[in-house]
Amino acid sequence: MNPEVVFIGLGNMGFPMAHNLIKGGFSVAGFDLLQSNVDRLIAEGGIQGVSLEQAVKSAKVVITMLPSSQSVKNVYLGEGGVFEQARPGTLLIDSSTISPEVAKELGKQAGERGMEMLDAPVSGGPVGATAGTLTFMVGATENGFASANAYLQKMGKALYHAGPHGSGQTVKVCNNMLLGITMIGTAEALRLGIANGLDPKVLTEIISKSSGNNWVLNACNPCPGVMEKAPASNDYAGGFGVDLMLKDLGLAVENALSTQCSVPLGANARNLYDMHSKAGNGKLDYGSIYQMLGKGS
Ligand code: NAD
């Protein structure tokens, strides 16, 4: 049986996204370098026994959720890759977080081959991917965005058309740069208050009703014990890894260089997460940057 949807990259994000498409009634064939990830999807109703080439040739939609710009380029542009195999008219959706420049180039090349391509990175992490509540930030033509609606709806609850090819990735890079900076600022403020003898719960409550209020403070407070369910209260396990934040800040700095834009706080934030990662904390939640700031007096 030929699948309607081909899903390439079944990791922490891709697996639950593909699973939600199956639950939403689509026939999906999943592909990953790890056979165990493919087998897991088959156990949840994924199509089996079809090769990647065969599946891409007949699919209506190809979705990718891969680690990096390079892996996305390999899958689309490589020998025997998606661009070579897919028929004109196939809808291509890349939800990986990659460089806006690469997304723009892929969107252009897809158009030259008679295909609509979307850069459609997401916010919401594995929890949002499992719940089907991701936010999609899309760069595409109007037509491409409209054609993808039925599929994106099954995986997310907020779908935004940011502009032409590359715009989705640009929004993602801007959002995550702000998030990385906000985490460091929030951790600094909490450290300063604690060093002056304040209870971090009291400090958090008052700031959250004042002008320093922000999402990090209320959703993933980096001070252990302030929020029972935050990664900080669980030895910084789960959540959004330091290395993922580092990757996104790297994309922001790279983009700032190519657009000649100054991002002094973004660049500093990247360096701090880089040092924190090199000290062996790459897999911890990014709120663990709080630990790097030391104890205070
Ligand atoms: P992951 O490492 O868990 O999954 C990536 C999967 O892609 C792996 O299973 C890997 O085997 C597979 N893969 C790599 N190259 C491949 C290839 N050539 N062909 C087939 N499969 C291949 O990563 P993830 O956490 O699922 O993240 C995926 C993307 O989503 C990344 O770009 C990441 O930046 C972005 N993202 C992640 C989060 C998060 O919280 N994890 C949140 C938002 C966005």
At residue 1, the pLDDT reads 79
* Ligand 1 cavity residues, CB under 6 Å: 8-14, 31-34, 37, 65-67, 71, 74-75, 96-97, 122, 125-126, 240, 244, 247
pTM for this model (two decimals): 0.96
At residue 2, the pLDDT reads 86
Task: Determine if residue 260 is left, alpha or beta; phi over 0 gives left, psi from -120 to 50 gives alpha, anything else beta.
Answer: left
CA of 10 to the centre of ligand 1 (A): 7
CA distance 293 to 269: 13
- What are the E-state strand segments in 74-125? 91-94, 116-119, 122-123
**Region 170-293: CATH code:** 1.10.1040.10
Domains 5-163 and 170-293 share a fold: no
CA of 97 to the centre of ligand 1 (A): 9
SS3 content of the chain, % helix, strand, coil (to 5): 55, 15, 30
Give residue limits of the domains in the chain.
5-163, 170-293
Q: Whose CA is nearest to atom 9 of ligand 1?
A: 11
| Residues of the chain below pLDDT 70 | 295-297
Q: Which residues contact 67 (CB under 8 A, 6 or more apart)?
A: 9, 11, 96
At residue 296, the pLDDT reads 56
Top-level class of domain 5-163: alpha beta
| CA-240 nearest atom, ligand 1 | 40
